[in-house]
Structure 1
Amino acid sequence: MKKSVIVSAGLAAVLAFTSGCFVSSRSGQVYSRDQARQIHQVEEGTVKAVRPVTIEGSRTPVGAIAGGVLGGALGRNIGSGGGRDLATAAGAVGGAAAGAAAEQQLTKKKGLEITVELDSGRNVTVVQEADVQFSPGERVRVLTAGDGSARVTK
């Protein structure tokens, strides 16, 4: 029994640590493989406003699976006799919910909502990770990809 808990905990830890590998970046400085070597429309403008925001975390099955495995293993070791199956199932369900919530919490990012008045007179707002700071009045470029995604760069 103790061995199954250790193995389950190890598997849950590996899944939890690798869940960050599946999260795509929302940085203004990071391009996905699909965005590389693609034409982006470039418009210049002036930053009008910057507001801190939170970019929600990922919702992949990894957190729920890891939590379910760990919760099921713990439930199995708590229960005994006929209640063991019920404790295992309850632990797996509770663990899956907790694992999904933990994944979302661990992968959320600080972001910026950047409002730019383009030289054309049009106003746009872009939300991206807060890895580069922007200030009102600063001159920037807004790059828009063919899929409609945009980023603000200096």
Structure 2
Amino acid sequence: MKRLLLLPVAAISLFTLAGCVNTAPYSGDVYSANQAKASQNVTYGTVVAIRPVQIQADSRTGGLLGGGSGALIGGLLGNQIGGGSGRKIATAAGAIGGAMAGTSVEDRANRINAVELEIRTDAGRDVVVVQKADRQFQPGQKVRLIGSGSNVSVAPY
């Protein structure tokens, strides 16, 4: 009976922790510690096109939280079935299925709504920047591209 009480607690823990994704680095309004007090390039341009996309954030636990919790829950559920070698097979199958399901849940929890912004710079160069959709942009809007290389964010002008 005590084993059955562990299942709801484990499931709640999985879904609570899987939602703990750090989305700040993908925002145009958040700077890393390395970017603070550092000189950044600024380029001016105009938004040409906007497309909603999603960013698949990396898991802070390397997928261990979702997969491990899912394997634990699946193994506990599988262990409730049958007896003898059938129980062992059900436990193993439950652990494998649970790990796959837990990893999938964690992956979905780590998706961030974002925008792909195509921008024509005042120098005539076309660039695309993807960042968290925490600000509204419109085609024709003047913007600033802050940073350089692979570390650029877009801000209103």
TM-score (norm 1): 0.85
Match of 2:47 in 1: 47
1:3-52 alpha-carbon deviations (Å, 9 max, x no partner): 22432542343243223334343121223344433332221111111111
CA–CA distance in structure 1, aligned partners of residues 68 and 35 of structure 2 = 31
Two-structure CA RMSD over aligned residues (Å): 2.1
Query: In 1, distance between residues paired with 2:127 and 2:55?
Result: 18
* Cα separation, 2, equivalents of 1:91 and 1:83: 12
For 2:5, the equivalent position in structure 1 comes to 6
Answer whether contact 1:11 1:66 (CA < 8 A) is retained: yes
Q: CA deviation at 1:85?
A: 1.4
Which whole-Å deviations, capped at 9, do the CAs of 1:86-140 have from their partners, x for residues lacking one?
A: 1111101000001111111223122111011112221110011111111111011
Aligned-pair identity (%): 40
- Segments of 5+ residues of structure 1 without an aligned counterpart are none
Contact persistence 1:57–1:106 (CA under 8 A): no
Question: Which runs of 5 or more residues in structure 2 are unaligned?
Answer: none
Runs of 4+ with deviation above 6 angstroms: none
Residue in structure 2 matching 1:71, options 61, 71, 74: 74
TM-score, structure 2 normalization: 0.83
Aligned length: 152
